[in-house]
Amino acid sequence: MKIKGKVHKFGNDINTDEIIPARYLNTSDPAELAKHCMEDADAKFPQKVKKGDIIVGGENFGCGSSREHAPISIKASGVSCVIAKSFARIFYRNAINIGLPIFTSREAADKLKSGDSAEVNLTKGEVTKAGNKKAFKAEVFPSFIKDIINKGGLMKYAENKK
């Protein structure tokens, strides 16, 4: 599957309080959470973001709390995937568990800039900047994680266990 979108770039150590501030955690409604996505990192993000857009982060993206509201708000705001140099571990497993595509790629995270157009190949784990021929490669997922992703998240994977 291929997705095209605009890049929104953020720095290192973007934490879950910036992704979805605690003042909005009295709900778990995805559409409601999307209205405040990334608000404390970039107040205009909820207005700017368009379906298919890509979030690019630096090191340790999604650090801080365990709130699944963070990847849920990102997914619900239409973002197609998050690319970062590294992910905080709870954010990483939450994204996989709810089926929000994430990619670890230093090269892509370095080279992509806000406003760039890029194309993401979800199946191959490749990101191509518009105008470039060569794609940035993302780290491959271990087969255990691939299984969960291919089933569409942990609960879908669990349904086979019933």
Partner 1 sequence: MGYTITEKILLAHAVGTKDIAPGDFISAKVDLCLGNDITSPIAIKEFRDLGKKKVFNQNRIVLVPDHFLPAKDMASANQAAILKEFAEEFGIVNYFELGQMGVEHALVPERGLVIPGDLMIGADSHTCTHGALGAFATGVGSTDLAYAMAFGECWFKVPETIKLVFTGKPRKWVGGKDLILHAISDLGVSGALYKALEITGDAIDNLPMDDRFSMCNMAIEAGAKNGIIAPDAITEKYVKTAIRNYKPQRKAYKKYISDKDANYAEVREYNVSKLEPVVAAPHLPSNGKPVSAFKDVKIDQVVIGSCTNGRISDLKQAAAVLKNRKIHPNTRLIVIPATQAIYMEAVQEGYAETFVKAGGNFCTPSCGPCLGGHMGILAEGEVGLATTNRNFVGRMGHPKSFVYLSNPAVAAASAVAGKILQPSDL
Q: Which residues bind to partner 1, rule: CB under 8 A?
A: 13, 15, 17-18, 21-23, 25-28, 40-41, 43, 59-60, 63-69, 72, 86, 88-90, 93-94, 97-98, 142, 144-145, 148, 153-155, 158-159, 161-162
Shortest distance, position 148 Cβ to partner 1, whole Å? 8
| Residue pair 39/21 in contact by the 8 Å Cβ criterion | yes
Please, which residue, 8 or 36, has the CB nearer to partner 1? 36
Q: What is the H or E stretch that residue 124 is in?
A: none
Residue placing its CB nearer to partner 1 in the complex, 86 or 105: 86
Give me the torsion for CA of 124, 69, 74, 42, rounded to 10°: -140
Torsions phi, psi for 82 (to 5 deg): -115, 130
In the complex, least distance from residue 54 CB atom to partner 1, rounded to whole angstroms: 22
Q: Is 70 helix (H, G, I), strand (E, B) or coil?
A: helix
